[in-house]
């Protein structure tokens, strides 16, 4: 967004001001989640107990009511509240008409992401009234881009980012002391058996 000289504003400005130019806001979890017991937001508690928080993204007069486009790039825990319900997408004040779901969790936090699109066929339309896939950019449809291998479109950037983490985090843990359990958490099998974190794959093991 910055490379295109689009103005960045704060969450408060985005929700409360009107602009004559394109603007964008970058949201963090505390900007659109609140504790169900109204206690102060805690990032540590949210990441460990997301079920104790409510998503406010689609509340009346919140982000879903004032945004034209949503670029979704966040990790989502299935125990967490979704961004908005399918029923909310049918409301007249639901303003979002284009969703770039970079995260691409099928049937996850963005309910219109019901299938992945491809690099060759980037977009599809979602009809919120009938909850069906339609042509992209169709009238009254929400256009969705949900390419699950999107980083492949930026191979140099993806390689630089991957290489940076490989050198800074993985190699020291692999050939030195794995203090944070990085290798252990990433290992799918050990001694011929699925590790505990990946036991959900047991139905696929033959």
On the question of pLDDT at 32 being above 90, the answer is yes
Question: What was the pLDDT predicted at 147?
Answer: 94
Rounded to whole angstroms, the Cα distance separating 129 from 69 reads 19
Residue 189: Cβ-neighbour burial (10 angstroms; 0-12, 13-18, 19+): exposed
45, 56, 156 from 34: Cα distances, Å? 11, 7, 38
Question: What was the pLDDT predicted at 199?
Answer: 87
Question: What was the pLDDT predicted at 197?
Answer: 87
Same domain, 146 and 177: no
pLDDT-based confidence at 206, cuts 50/70/90? Answer: low
Q: Where among 109, 131, 151 does a domain terminate?
A: 151
On the question of pLDDT at 151 being above 80, the answer is no
Three-state DSSP class for residue 156: helix
Tell me the average pLDDT across 137-153: 90
| Domain coverage including residue 55 | 2-151
Q: What single-letter DSSP state applies at residue 19?
A: -
8, 111, 187 from 199: Cα distances, Å? 43, 27, 11
Rounded to whole angstroms, the Cα distance separating 9 from 48 reads 30
Q: What is the pLDDT of residues 179-203, one digit of tens each?
A: 888 898 889 999 999 998 888 888 8
First to last CA, the chain: 47
Contact assessment for residue 89 and residue 119, using Cβ atoms and an 8 Å cutoff: no
Same domain, 160 and 144: no
Same domain, 46 and 98: yes
Same domain, 63 and 134: yes
72, 77, 137, 145, 147 from 150: Cα distances, Å? 13, 21, 20, 10, 5
Q: What is the pLDDT of residues 62-73, one digit of tens each?
A: 999 999 999 999
Same domain, 146 and 160: no
Contact assessment for residue 53 and residue 36, using Cβ atoms and an 8 Å cutoff: yes
Q: How many domains does the chain have?
A: 2
Tell me the average pLDDT across 103-124: 93
Same domain, 124 and 36: yes
Same domain, 199 and 106: no
Q: Are strands 193-194 and 132-134 parallel, antiparallel or unpaired?
A: unpaired
Q: Are strands 123-127 and 132-134 parallel, antiparallel or unpaired?
A: antiparallel
Rounded to whole angstroms, the Cα distance separating 149 from 104 reads 9
pLDDT-based confidence at 2, cuts 50/70/90? Answer: confident
């Amino acid at each position: 967004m910055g490379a295109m000289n689009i103005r960045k504003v704060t969450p408060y400005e985005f929700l409360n001001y009107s602009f004559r130019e394109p603007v964008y806001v970058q949201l963090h979890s505390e900007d659109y989640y609140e504790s169900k017991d109204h206690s102060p937001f805690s990032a540590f508690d949210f990441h460990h107990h997301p079920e104790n928080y409510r998503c406010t993204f689609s509340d009346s007069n919140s982000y879903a009511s004032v945004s034209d486009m949503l670029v979704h790039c966040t990790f989502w825990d299935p125990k967490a509240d979704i961004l908005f319900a399918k029923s909310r997408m049918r409301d007249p004040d639901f303003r979002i008409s284009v969703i770039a779901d970079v995260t691409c969790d099928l049937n996850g936090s963005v309910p219109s992401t019901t299938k992945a699109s491809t690099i060759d066929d980037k977009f599809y339309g979602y009809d919120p009234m009938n909850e069906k896939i339609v042509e992209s950019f169709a009238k009254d449809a929400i256009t969705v881009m949900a390419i699950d291998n999107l980083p492949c479109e930026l191979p140099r950037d993806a390689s630089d980012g991957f290489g940076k983490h490989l050198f800074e985090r993985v190699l020291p843990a692999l050939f030195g002391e794995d203090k944070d359990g990085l290798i252990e958490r990433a290992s799918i099998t050990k001694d011929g058996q699925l590790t505990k974190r990946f036991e959900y794959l047991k139905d696929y093991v033959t």
